[in-house]
């Protein structure tokens, strides 16, 4: 669906397919190469939570800080992550409202840094935090809605 300078061979490439937006919140599916079935999310908070769980499960990228929690969780890292989908399969999926290919390169300062590709427009942007990633995606979805109207 899209091509850019992003390294599609990275183990943590995610395809965020936004299928619906309500009250400024996106819902949809997350695809990665370690499962055939997508991870569903109903809002952006769930999306961020699921992405963070995914990074923890494959231990990549390593977090530079340990989360502070009220109750400690057990280690959820996979024993051995086995790829079951090709990067081309992951990036071929599309959302009804928008599609974003995300590569989180670092997890520093208790947030994420990386690149996101707006697949429909083939535009790549860097982000310095999870909040900035959300803002980039929201601006793309708003522009797409404006162009539809």
The number of CA neighbours under 13 Å toward the Cβ of 95 is: 29
Is pLDDT of 32 > 90?
A: yes
- Residue 126 φ/ψ, nearest 5 degrees: -90, 150
| Window from 38-47, 77-86, 104-113 with minimum mean pLDDT | 77-86
Predicted confidence at residue 69, as pLDDT, reads 85
* Phi and psi, residue 88, nearest 5°: -65, -35
72 compared with 142, residue with greater pLDDT: 142
Nearest-angstrom CA–CA distance, 48 and 43: 9
Q: 122 pLDDT exceeds 80?
A: yes
Write the pLDDT tens digit of every residue in 47-84. Answer: 999 999 999 999 999 999 888 889 887 765 556 789 99
pTM, two decimal places: 0.90
Q: Which residues, 6+ apart, have CB-to-CB distance to 106 below 8 Å?
A: 61, 64, 112, 113, 114
Give pLDDT, residue 123.
Answer: 97
pLDDT level of residue 7 (50, 70, 90 thresholds): confident
Task: Pick the closest to residue 31 from 88, 106, 107, 78 (CA basis).
Answer: 88
Average pLDDT, rounded, for the chain: 91
pLDDT for position 1: 44
Give the number of other CB atoms < 10 A from CB of residue 128: 14
Tell me which residue of 1, 124, 102 sits closest to 55, measured CA to CA.
102
The two three-digit tokens of residue 33, written as one number? 């190469």
């Amino acid at each position: 669906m899209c091509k850019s300078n992003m390294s599609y061979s990275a183990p943590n490439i995610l395809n965020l397919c936004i299928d619906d937006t309500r009250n400024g919140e996106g819902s949809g599916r997350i695809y990665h190469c370690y499962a055939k079935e997508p991870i569903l999310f109903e809002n952006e908070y769930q999306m961020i939570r699921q992405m963070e769980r995914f990074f923890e499960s494959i231990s990549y990228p390593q977090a530079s800080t340990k989360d502070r929690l009220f109750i400690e969780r057990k280690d959820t890292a996979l024993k051995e992550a086995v790829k079951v989908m090709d990067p081309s399969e992951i990036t071929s999926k599309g959302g009804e409202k928008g599609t974003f290919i995300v590569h989180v390169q670092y997890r520093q300062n208790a947030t994420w840094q990386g690149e996101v590709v707006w697949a429909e427009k083939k535009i790549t942007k860097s982000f310095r935090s999870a909040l900035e990633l959300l803002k980039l995606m929201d601006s793309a979805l708003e522009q797409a809605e404006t162009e539809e109207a």
